[in-house]
Chains A and B, each alone.
Chain A
């Protein structure tokens, strides 16, 4: 394919992004070419700004643009509730649902022994320090319902057993709008184990 060198370089950079192949990258590069210089500059600046200004919150390890993230700084959040998630993406999903009003702690992964990811590679030590330093009443383990997520939740609950806080795990079961006929047996088992009385 004939392409001027700078454009080729842009296509290569864009196709390195997740979910973007060479075709999509070419389409995006052509779109950027057709944009005004100001728009292109804004895009370039926003990428640089993210790298320069966004880092991890010193308290919860979510993305932040100051020492602490907006959630940790917010005095209206319930500081006695702490929700432990695997990634900032999980935190964003919970925030989008808008139901939870407590604080978070992001582990940045889950225990995966075959990939060499153990507790030391995650923000578990920081979580334990945080629970002993802050007046938490409940720790909600919202790691994914996978073997890795379960391993992380089990390990954390074992470590926090003497901390004197309530430790809970998010419910697992039939999703809203789901069809029982198509749900796997593990999920159905969890749904039955976690059934609640009708009020």
Chain B
């Protein structure tokens, strides 16, 4: 049975049988994996708090032939992001990041840039007051890394280049902006102002360390949230569960 050691972030944990836990985790070397942590509920010595969501670990695991689940042997905590777990909004936003990675990434496909992106955003969430607009930037970067980046530089229907003066709308199923000739003012496509398109273009193009500089105005965030949530729902096939909790906190 081949065994591995890799840096990983814990995405989701569910109890299994009396003492075990099924863990979904994103590794640097093998992408997203699911594994069983035997006796994790009973033995605090073996895993301690290492299997909590958000925890960045060095994980020892081995593959079992014929099993879909890997077996987690040990975890060495690298970072628990304590500032996230002490703030209710940060917990809500952080869960949304974890859920997107958990639902959008294919299992066992190596993509270290996704782990870097997740760690960067968890650090950002940890080090600043909670901002919902960083979720929009994360959505844009994650979809780009996974190969279905929204087309914002030309009309996704006729191919004409984006011109800042024209009126654009967004097509969820075609995955990009539509020019006035193609959208024909149809309400089927939500409007997208130049300000929002510009911010999203920055979110796609800026290097990781400069993403922190992106700030949405309230109207740009409203517009961007509407189209990105529709776009993600189209690709995931359902609405992310953690959104409901974010909305509940917003009402409070």
Interface residues of A (CB under 8 A from B): 18-19, 111, 113-116, 118-120, 145-147, 150-151, 154-155, 158-159, 182-187, 189
Contact = CB atoms under 8 A, between A and B. Distances in A.
10 contacts: A114-B95, A147-B52, A147-B85, A147-B91, A151-B92, A155-B88, A184-B48, A184-B77, A186-B77, A187-B49
Given A18-B17, A111-B245, A150-B86, A185 B102 contact: no
A125 to B, nearest CB: 12
Given A116-B241, A154-B91, 5 more contacts: A18-B18, A114-B102, A114-B241, A154-B86, A186-B82
A185 B77 contact: yes
A114 B45 CA distance: 26
Given A118-B248, A158-B88, A19 B17 contact: yes
A119 B248 CA distance: 9
Main secondary structure of the interface of A (DSSP, over half): helix
Contact of B85 (A113, A120, A150, A185): A150
B53 A186 contact: no
Given A147-B53, A154-B91, A189-B82, A182 B245 contact: no
Contact of A118 (B54, B77, B98, B245): B245
B66 to A, nearest CB: 20
Interface in B87-133: 87-88, 91-92, 95-96, 98-99, 102
B233 interface: no
B14 interface: yes
Contacts of B246: 113
A116 B244 contact: yes
B252 interface: yes
A147 B102 CA distance: 17
A183 B48 contact: yes
Contact of B80 (A18, A111, A186): A186
Given A147-B53, A159-B252, A118 B88 contact: no
A98 B242 CA distance: 38
What class of interface size applies to chain B in its complex with A? 20 to 34
A136 to B, nearest CB: 21
A114 B53 contact: yes
Given A146-B52, A184-B49, A185-B80, A114 B248 contact: no
A32 B162 CA distance: 77
Contact of B91 (A118, A150, A185): A150
B12 interface: yes
Contact of A151 (B19, B45, B77, B88): B88
Interface in B202-252: 241-242, 244-246, 248, 252
Nearest to A159: B252
Contact of B242 (A19, A114, A182): A114
B33 interface: no
B102 A158 contact: no
Most buried by B among A111, A113, A119: A113
A120 B248 CA distance: 9
Contacts of B53: 114, 147
Contacts of B14: 115
A113 B92 contact: yes
